[in-house]
Amino acid sequence: MKKAKIVYAGAFALAIVAVVAMAMASHVCFANPHSPAGAAAQVQAKAEFYSAVPAPEIAANAGMLVDAETGQILFSMNPDERLAPASITKIMTMLIVMEHVDEGKISLDDTVVASREASMMGGSQVYLKEKEQASVEDLMAATAIRSANDASYALAEVVSGTADAFVELMNARAAELGMSNTHFMNPEGLDDPNHYTTARDIGIMSRELLAHPKILEWTSTWIGKMRGGTYDLFNTNRLIKEYEGADGLKTGQTDTAGWCLVGTAQRGGTRLLSVVLGAASDGDRVGETSKLLDYGFQKFERTRFIDAGNSVGMIHVPSAANQDVTAVAAEDLVLLSPRGLASEIEVHFEPVQQEISAPIEKGQPLGRAVVRMASGEELGSTLAVAEADVPRANAIVRAWRAIVRFFSGLFGGRGTKA
Catalytic residues: 87, 90, 147
On whether the CB atoms of residues 261 and 237 are closer than 8 A, the answer is yes
How many Cα atoms are found within 13 Å in the side-chain-facing hemisphere of 220? 14
Phi first, then psi: what are they for 198, rounded to 5°? -135, 165
SS3 158: helix
359: cis peptide before it, omega within 30°? yes
Closest to 38 in 3D by CA, of 248, 308, 418: 308
**Where would I find the H helices in 324-413?**
395-410
Closest to 294 in 3D by CA, of 335, 238, 246: 246
**Where would I find the H helices in 59-198?**
90-102, 116-119, 136-146, 149-160, 163-176
What is the secondary structure of 120-142 as a DSSP string?
A: T--SS---PPTT-EEEHHHHHHH
Q: Give the integer Cα–Cα distance in Å for 253 and 86.
A: 5
Q: Which residues, including other chains, have CB under 8 Å from residue 184's CB and lie 6 or more apart? A: 89, 92, 167, 170, 171, 174, 195, 197
SS3 39: coil
